[in-house]
Structures are given as C-alpha cells and as structure tokens.
Structure 1
Amino acid sequence: MIYAIVNIKDKQFKLIENKYVYVPHISVNVGEKILLNQVFLFSKEGKLFLGDPFLEKINVIIEIMEHIKGKKIFIFKKKRRKGYKVKNGFRPLFSKIKIVSFLEK
C-alpha cells in the first residue's frame, strides 16, 4: 500500500491514492489539480521514507472535488451568578479532495 502523510493548512493528513479526504477549505476552484510538496512521510511497498522536516523528492497531486460546510459548532459562554450568557455558532468550511497520484523524482 502506498500512502503519504502531508501538511495541508498546518494540519497533517494521511493520503492514500484514489481515496477521498475532507480537509480545511482550500481556495481553489472545483476540478483544479494542486501539487503538494510538504510531505512528512512516504511509504511504498513496506519501505518508509522520513523527511527532515519534508521530503524533497516526493510530491502529491490532488484534485478538488467539492466545497462543503460542516456541522454547526456551538460556542456557549457563561459566568456564574452574573447573568452573563452568550451563545454563538458557525459552520466550518471543508474541501473534499481526491488523491490523484504520487510523484517521485
């Protein structure tokens, strides 16, 4: 099995070829392909390659499939015995990506 652990928007994701992953919103149009060059770890046929901090010779090509909103997250603040209550919330944005291929130089 071939997989890589990459950095996308300061979060680490394990990417497997031809699989879908939801990542924080990437500001690129749907259908476009992106080259990711911040690869921490790459595994191919049982061999591990570790970067220090990144691997220079490995890149990952991903395709943006769609942009979606996640479930609503509620933020509730309260101070005891003061009558202070505030309720807010938001829906985070995600991008669904498909891993197209791994490029080895």
Structure 2
Amino acid sequence: MYAIVNIAGKQFKVAKDQYIYAPKLEGEAGSSVKFDNVLLTDDGGKVNIGAPTVKGITVSGKILEHVKGNKVIVFKKKRRKGYQVKNGHRQQFTKVQIENIG
C-alpha cells in the first residue's frame, strides 16, 4: 500500500516503514506527526483518488532528526565589469519515518 501526500507544498509517494526528507517541520526529534492532505491511495491495485483529498485517510510518521541538505553554490558574474559574487546555501530538511497509512 502506498499514498501520495502533500507536505509543505511538495508531493511525496510514501509507503509504510519508508524514510522521507520533507521540508523542515515543527517538532522535536522523536515526536509523532500526522499528514491529513492525502491526494491518492493505492491498496493492492485498488486506487482511491481524492477530489482534492481523500477523506478519512491520514498518514502518521515519526520525526527522526533535522538535517541539512547538500550545499548549493550560487555564483553571479557580469563580464568585463569586475563583478562576481559567490554564495552558498544549505536547505534544512526533516527526516521522517512513515509508520502508518490509514
């Protein structure tokens, strides 16, 4: 069984006991979290599509840790003007383990 869930504006295909890296969520490591915005569920070939969400289905998970993603380099340059700027950015994510779909 799997479900497609909208978490902070991004869609994730989740299954039981799967780890996902969602945009940073509120909560401490070890706390539980519920996602109500389920767009689609599939239970052994029986597909249930929401309009816009599936009613009565929630996905519960456990926050494992808060982590940072890989560094993204932002480099700007204007040729022949002596202008160049180099910045870096690391996005913050939350590692979540999916415990139950239902």
TM-score category of the 2 structures, normalised to the smaller one: over 0.9
- Count of paired positions: 102
TM-score (norm 1): 0.92
**Consecutive aligned runs of 4 or more in structure 1 exceeding 6 Å deviation:** none
Q: Secondary structure at the match of 2:27?
A: coil
Corresponding residue number in structure 2 for 1:100: 99
CA RMSD of aligned residues (A): 0.9
Of all paired residues, the percent bearing the same amino acid is 44
Corresponding residue number in structure 1 for 2:16: 17
Q: Secondary structure at the match of 1:67?
A: strand
- Tell whether the 8 Å contact from 2:15 to 2:101 is kept in structure 1 after alignment: no
Alpha-carbon shift at residue 87 of structure 1 (Å) = 0.4
Q: Secondary structure at the match of 1:54?
A: coil
Please, which runs of 5 or more residues in structure 2 have no aligned partner?
A: none
* 1:56-67 matches, cutoff 5 A: 56-67=55-66
Please, which runs of 5 or more residues in structure 1 have no aligned partner?
A: none
Q: Deviations over 1:52-83 (max 9, x none)?
A: 11111211001101111111111001112211
Determine the C-alpha separation between the residues in 2 that align with 1:25 and 1:96.
9
Determine the C-alpha separation between the residues in 2 that align with 1:95 and 1:71.
14
TM-score (norm 2): 0.95
